[in-house]
Structure 1
Amino acid sequence: MRSLVVTVRLDDETQQRFERERARWFPAGRTQVGAHVTLFHAVPGELRDDVETDLHDVTGPPFDVAVTGVRSLGRGAAYVLHSDELTRRHATLQRAWWPHLTRQDRQPFRAHVTVQNKVDPATARRTVAELQAAFAPFPVAALGWSLWRYDGGPWTHLIDVPFR
């Protein structure tokens, strides 16, 4: 059974902004999915019912997330996001799924939106420098969770769970 991916849904205006950034900076033909904030990369698909239940349980009202900077990914660039509330909700889900998580998903949470990946390091450094030069912090709204199935490249959207 294919693994599950959990992301946080952002407000439409910000989502479109990040989509434009990915379209500009990602190598042509290399994007498999749209812009996203991944909380978990590979939750076992066998846990789908439990995951859906937990996502419905770990909600609360929508909240703001701060976009605080730009960072290098070595072979790409990402916007850095910060929210104590997002970190808290992530930790709750991480504890619930801990025995089933991969090493990557057991790491401390570092929220970000990748806008460039799979380029040579020199290209990535130039992109980071350009993004940093134009950067000003801005808020985004976190509106809910999205659950996806990883299909060996592209993802299939399964459900959205709105914050309430």
Structure 2
Amino acid sequence: MSAPPDLARDAPPRPLIVTLRLGEPAAAQFSALRRAHFPAHRNWLDAHVTLFHALPGAAIDRVLADAAEVARSRSALTLRVERVLFLGAGVAYAPASPQADGLRAELARRWTDLLGRQDRAKRGPLHITVQNKVAPNVARALHAELVRHFEPTDISATGLEVWHYEDGPWRAAADYPFSGPGTG
């Protein structure tokens, strides 16, 4: 009689998510908005900008090596938060950044064979989600409030983060600060 399979060991590796880490004080400001408006039972992490949603977990060594190399070659990125987005069931801020777009394009070229449909598809604007998975009327009310007080601003991204997606929660895999030329 054989032993039962080890389901954890035999399961395919969890997908990987790659995000931009926000610099202070933006990280504190947007994370506070998440804590105030994101459903608490779904809010597992601080504010961030997702660059890739689902890279194969089996490619973790390659993803980590590339993320580390790219982060070492970059200094902090500037993002211009230009508007507040209504997401239907949530609200986000939309930062624009040619630097962030170039960084994502470089990683996408490296990972062409790893990209799933969502990460290959034409992407919408970069965004910092502060509310999600709520009733549309709740999202509309927050959107109206945030738009009323909104002023465009510049923020920074200070590194790349790699996460394991665990059917809801995310677990940190690595954090690579931007440490290239011009980094203080």
Q: Which residue of 1 aligns with 2:182?
A: none
Q: Gaps (5+ residues) in structure 1?
A: none
Q: Which residue of 1 aligns with 2:55?
A: 43
Match of 1:155 among 161, 170, 173: 170
Are 2:154 and 1:139 equivalent residues in the alignment? yes
The one-letter amino acid of 2:24's match is D
Distance 1:10 1:63 in 2: 9
Please list every run of at least 4 consecutive aligned residues from structure 1 whose deviation after the TM superposition is greater than 4 angstroms: none
Q: CA RMSD in A?
A: 1.3
Give the alignment of 1:82-161 within 5 angstroms: 82-109=96-123, 110-161=125-176
8 Å Cα contact 2:27/2:46 also seen in 1? no
Distance 1:137 1:100 in 2: 35
Are 2:83 and 1:69 equivalent residues in the alignment? yes
Aligned-pair distance for 1:154?
Answer: 1.1
The percentage of counterpart residues that share the same residue type is 41
Q: Gaps (5+ residues) in structure 2?
A: 1-12, 180-184
Q: Which residue of 2 aligns with 1:79?
A: 93
> In the TM superposition, what whole-angstrom CA distance separates every residue of 1:46-67 from its partner, at most 9, and x where no partner exists?
1111111211222311121111
Distance 2:128 2:56 in 1: 23
Give the alignment of 1:16-35 within 5 angstroms: 16-35=28-47
Aligned-pair distance for 1:124?
Answer: 1.1
More strand by share: 1
Distance 1:33 1:152 in 2: 14
Query: What is the TM-score with the length of structure 2 in the denominator?
Result: 0.84
Are 2:68 and 1:56 equivalent residues in the alignment? yes
Distance 1:77 1:91 in 2: 25
8 Å Cα contact 2:18/2:50 also seen in 1? yes
The count of residues paired between Structure 1 and Structure 2 equals 164
Rg bigger for which structure? 2
